[in-house]
Structure formats: structure tokens, C-alpha cells
Amino acid sequence: MSAVRTFTGAILIAILGILSPVSAAPSSITIPDNIRQHIPADAYLMVYAPSAEKLISSLSKTIGTVDQQAAMQLQMMPMMGGMMLFKNEDATKQTQLDLSAPIAFALSQGKAGIEPAMSVIIGVKGDHAGLSSAMNPAMKVTSINGSPLVVMSDAPDGKAIAADAQLMQNIPPGEISIAFDQALFYKQNGPMIDMMMSQMANPGMHQQDDPTAKMMMEQAKQTAAQIKLFMEMFKSWDFSMSFNGPDMTTTIRWIPTDPKMNAAGSADLGRYSNVLVDNSPLGAVMSHGALEMMLWAQEGQTAGLPGAAGQAMKIMMDHAQKIVKEMDGSVGISYGLGSKGLWCLQLFNVKNKESYMKGSAEMWTALNDAGLGISVTDLKLLDGGTGYTVRLDMQEMMSKMGMGSLIPPKEMAMISSVINALLGGEVGFQIRYLTNGNKMAIVMGRNGKVLGAAKQMLNSSEPAKSNILNELVSTAQGSPTLALSLDFRSAFSELMVFMRSIPELQDEMKDLPTAVPAGDPVRLDATCTAMTKGGQMIVDFNLGGFAEMMKQMEESMDAMKKNKAAMAN
């Protein structure tokens, strides 16, 4: 299915039409020397919390909004932790952890094979004499002088990691932080990983004549190629998490190996935030630099596709590159779903309207001629603009990509019915290009309110009204490349309306509630910014609200079952 995901991604980039200075990196934490000096020089993964006590307290409160019993178990872990981690030669002594101290965990190169060495640094109250590992007898336990910290490790003796090592350079602050030197990990373990991938992609001799085995082998080869591409694409990943009652904040940083993956931010993201129309559950604004980066990454993923699919995708990516070059500045995108299928609105400016539309027409012609089960016909618009109707034969597409026999006929019929409904049913997926000077709106799907809003925005000179996308852009830590907001309550509600509109799904839907319980939005918000090297994403998620919504839906389902049982009696 990776080819289908890649194909879909490329089409969306092409439809999209598919700057500003890079900001200084936000603050990074410094690992205390007395901890760093006990992390091996060849460590590729480290987890660090400045206070185990604060982490457990905050995390238990957040988990408590989801599952009270799990929160209580987490709070009890410190009492059991000493016995789980350590043994004492004096059996009468009970080892107690000092949770006011920091805690750290690291993985480094093991003595043989892919199995890593492990180092744990944690606080222990009282005298450390006589302590040994309860986890692994091979792990040595030593004290860190002048602190309650002890080190438990089976790493070979050697140098400590340097303060300027990549693993130490880009760690975001949080109640818990994670650093991963992907380049070092792949350098140490790449040959072993490549060998494992190769073995997965080659069936035994007795399977070589089996058509299904051949197709699965081809799919495994694609997966292996994409894993290898990903491992070679990034130098490092760094994460942190913080918890505040029902909400959790995750910070993600990355440094790519190729400068093309360094997306430039843009100061004009806010002007497209009015793309959020008709209570759209998902909206985003994205810089031109981020679009270029996505296209470049997508091109790498499609390079390994075999046969007709690979050739068609190369044509599509070539057209997408030309279209992106005609865009001027950032883009706003919003999505929604209903009984008439998917809808999407995109707002942006172009450098030259005629050149952009010419490139788009060539792209749709190439898509129609690609022989992948996709047909594109002209859509006549009475009030100006250019339109197309797209139809997709899922069975033919899968067959052309060599995957037709991987899915049983019944499941394929179900998938086809869902995809057909998603893309407008018998009417097809309508795509309208509307322009006013160099301002452009692309309206996909059938939603009259969205179409009307798009026309109004094209003809208006008023600035975008304040909304969540505005807020995310204005509070970004640096030059923003992306701001995104998703309301799960609204998204689930629209998904249920859509699924109930598909006759083939009625049996599956009969025991589900007819609607999502009303309530406040349950949001996931994300903001990406450019950094001196790579980028950063901050994700805020209302975990407690999400859990409460799911609980309400379960209660609604239980009530439906009880009512049906009562009526049956």
C-alpha cells in the first residue's frame, strides 16, 4: 500500500501548486556534567528527566484524566522501583529511590550484534554499598560522588560522550527529553538492518513461482527502500514532553542530512488563515519552503517504485515541481467530510496565472494518460474559472501497480465503495480553479458553502479574521513553516455522517452511535518553525478531552445495546 500512499501524496502536492530568514534555535537543555560523564561516547539514544518526582507527578495527573487506575499504579511505581532495579547484599535493607534527583537512560553500541548496551542513571537514598543490578547481573553499579546518583550499566569501559557531541546539541526542554543520533545509529547498525530488510524481501526458493509471494516480495523491497531512505535522510531527532492536567505538549526537532530538507519559514502565513470555513475540522497554513521540502522528500520516496507506477509517478512529480515554482508565498488548506464525500479548499497566490493554469492542465492530462485507472474530464463552470472531474477505478489502479491480487475481492469491493464515496460518488470528484488577478482558490469536492466562501474571499481585500491558525502563527517560536489545527470532535462527527451515507457500510454502522456527543472542541494543534539546522514542531494535544469524548461515545453505544435488548424482550 506504500505506492498508493505515495501516489496520493504526489497528487495532493500537485493540486496545491504543488522566504524568509531562518531563526536562531530556541533554547536547548544542557545535560549536567556528572551525568554526561557516565554516558558512553558511542551512545545514540538518551532519555533525560531533570526531576523524576516532577515527571511522575505531572504525568500521573494527565493519565488520571484518562484512566484513574493507571494513574494510581504510576504513583506507586517509585515504591516498587528500588526493588525492581536493584538488589542489596544485605537482604534486610530496602533500596529506596531518590526521585528528587534527575534520571537518565542511554543506549550505546553493545559488545556484539545489534543488541545495545544500556546505561541507567538514577537517584538512590542512603548508602550505595552492596548494590547490584536486579535487571541484569552483567550490569555494574557505581556511585556518582557527591550526589545521590548511581550508574547501572553493561556498556564496555571507554570514553564518556563529549559535551559537543551531536546527541547533546539539540535537546528541547521538557519534563522528559529524548535525544536520538540517527546517523550514528545507522552507522553502527546499518549493515545489520540492511541484511534483515534484504532477507524480508526475498522469499524461499519454493515461493518464487507464487504470484502472491512475488508481489509481497516487491512490496517488501519498496518498504526496505523507504526505510533505508529515511535512515539516510536525517542526522538526528530530539523530543521533549510536558504535561499540564488534561493537556500534553510535545516538542520535536530534526536535522536532515540534505540542506533541501531545511524548509524556510515565511512571514505571510497569517494572511491565509481564513481558509478555515464551514467549521472545517482540519486546517493548516504552510510556507512555500515547506511545500518545496515536501515535494523533494516525496520525489525520493517515489524513485523506487517499479514498472508503470514508477514511470507514471515520475511524470507526476515533474509536473508538480513546475507547478510549485509558479506559486508565490504560502498556502492555506482546509478539509472536511460529509455525505457528498471529501471537500478541500486551498488559498494562495501565483506569480503568473496563465503559467500556473497551463502547468495544471498539463498535469491533469498526464494523470489521465498515465493508465492507472484515473480519468480526468473537463468540468464546465457557469460563473468562470477552470474545472475538472476526477474519477478513480480502485481495482484497476491496484492491478496496474501490481497489487490487485493482494486484497480479497470482498474487501476490495468494500474499499472501492468507500473511495468512490470519498471522491463524490457517481458525480465524481469536482475540482474548481477560481482566480482574481494573482489570487487563487482551488475548491475540491461538493460543498456549496465552501465554494461561496472561496469566491467571497477572492473578491475581498479585508485581512483574515482572527482564528486558531492566526494564534498559532503569531505565537510561533521563530519563523513559521506550518501551523495546523485538528478538532477531533468535529472530525469524528463528519466521519460518521460520511460513513452512514455509504450503503455497503450500514451493517458495520448499525451498532455505532448516530452522532458524536456534543461538547467543546478536542484539539490537536501543531506549529513548525525553521531553525539554524533543520526544524522544530510543537504539538499541543487535549488528551483528557479526547479520552472523555471516547468515553461518552462508549456510553452511548452501551445505551443503544441496552435499548435494543429491551425491545427484543
Q: What's the Cα-to-Cα distance from 424 to each of 38, 337, 372, rounded to whole Å?
A: 60, 11, 19
Q: What is the pLDDT along the chain (569 residues), one digit of tens a residue?
A: 344 444 344 344 444 443 333 333 468 999 999 999 999 999 999 999 999 999 999 999 999 988 888 888 888 877 788 888 988 888 888 888 999 999 999 999 987 666 899 999 999 999 898 898 988 988 999 999 989 999 999 998 889 999 999 999 999 999 999 999 999 999 998 888 878 777 766 655 445 566 667 667 777 777 777 788 888 899 999 999 999 999 999 999 999 998 878 888 888 888 899 999 878 999 999 999 998 888 877 776 666 566 656 666 777 788 888 898 999 999 999 999 999 999 999 999 999 999 999 999 999 998 898 888 889 999 999 888 999 999 998 888 877 766 666 678 888 888 899 999 999 999 999 999 999 999 999 999 999 999 999 999 998 888 777 899 999 999 888 899 999 999 999 999 999 999 988 888 888 887 787 788 899 999 999 999 998 889 999 999 999 999 999 998 888 888 888 877 777 76
Nearest CA to 468 out of 264, 289, 288, 275 is that of 275
Q: Is the pTM of this model over 0.85?
A: yes
Nearest CA to 372 out of 307, 324, 296 is that of 307
Query: Long-range pairs for 508-517 at CB < 8 Å and ≥24 separation?
Result: 511/557, 511/560, 511/561, 512/557, 513/553, 513/556, 513/557, 513/560, 516/489, 516/492, 516/549, 516/553, 517/549, 517/552, 517/553, 517/556
Nearest CA to 530 out of 293, 265, 330, 288 is that of 265
